[in-house]
Amino acid sequence: MNKKISGIQAIQLPGSIFHLLYRYPVFFILVFAGFFAMACEGDYRRMAKGSLSEVIVVMDSTRWNGPVGEVVREVFSHEMMTLPRPENRYDLRFMDLRTNRDLDFAKNHRNTIFVGPIDEDSNVGAFIRAVMSDEIQERIRDGRNFAFPLHDRWYRDQWTLFLSAESEEMLAQKIMQNRRSLLNQLDQIERERWIREVYRRGEQKQLSEEMMERHGFQIRVQHDYRMGVDTTGFLTMRRFLPDNDRWIWIAYKEGFEGLGDINREWIHAVRDSLNRQYIRGTREESYVTTDHQRLIEMRDIQVNGRPALELRGTWRMSGDAMGGPFLNYVIFDEHQDRIYLMEFGQFAPRYPKRRFLNQFEAIAHTFETDESANQVSEAEADPAHQAGEGR
């Protein structure tokens, strides 16, 4: 009934089709040719359903509050403590498989995780075995594999993850040991979706092109951000609404060889200096500064293949009772020998913040640079290049 991983599923045509093929051979040759040509160009299946940041977790109900259920919550739904009020990383929805309708719902969803021991005597266990080949089942039982991410298995824009092991204890241990890589997989898929969502209503391509021409870098600019300061080595953009104020600033400096000498103290010193100068409040002498009394997280990442540091925390307004989340990136570009600092901030006390931080992250990962700039200057300075000009 279900195609197994590593297996092949045959397709049968109804008998009446053969009669039509016999009577109208040329017509059907053209139809099938057109069909296969379209199939080669793209996937025409329906889109998966479900909201952004929502994950269906399919488990036997007896295990929801057990070791595996607790670990799944900790990995995929931990509270983000760097926001003004903690919010879950993802919204998990646990469900069991009691009917075919339950299975159809799970298979239809955008993000679905099937979790259970490989030999579990339950509908979930039976389904996991049904989609796994005998070879894969043996690899699960002997501990060689436990996680199987699949993309667009039943619908388009779908991420499905099967997690299984010999026992419940072993499965919980493996999930915890690999929590970072498991979460990174989902984060990457969701980031691509957020990029599509952010620019769904349009973008300002001309503004991005002007950034590249003036500064040697660009990000994709959402449709209603407005340029503010634009000077040597620094620029700001703002998307102002009375109850949801958002801003972006980007600074850069040449002469770096990497991120090796960059630490948290240096980053905060530069951030606070720039925020004090450019991100100011309505009251005299009020400005944005880092709230060091709250948690600030920093981690190594990649932004479009470039080494980067990501900082998440909260800001406060010096001289005023205001605050909100910030998301900061420090990016090294080896083609320009530049360090970029890119910061996103928000003041929206009425709204939850997670979705806006997801939007900021999506925008940040559209960052690109003019990789030809230093390559041209280095080529012109090369003695072999100069010798070639004199021939």
Query: Which residue positions in the chain have pLDDT lower than 70?
Result: 1-42, 372-391
Q: What pLDDT, in 10s, does the model give residues 299-315? A: 999 999 999 999 999 99
Length of the chain as a residue count: 391
**Rounded CA separation 115/161 (Å):** 8
Residues 6+ apart with CB under 8 A from 3: 9, 131
Single pTM value for the model: 0.83
CATH topology of domain 205-376: Protein Transport Mog1p; Chain A (3.40.1000)
- pLDDT computed for residue 41 by the predictor: 54
User: What is the enclosing helix (H) or strand (E) of 126?
Assistant: helix 123-131
Domain boundaries, the chain: 54-196, 205-376
- pLDDT computed for residue 20 by the predictor: 42
- pLDDT computed for residue 284 by the predictor: 81
- pLDDT computed for residue 321 by the predictor: 85
**Rounded CA separation 51/84 (Å):** 23
**Rounded CA separation 36/44 (Å):** 11
Residues 6+ apart with CB under 8 A from 194: 52, 358, 359, 361, 362
Q: What pLDDT, in 10s, does the model give residues 148-171? A: 999 999 999 999 999 999 999 999
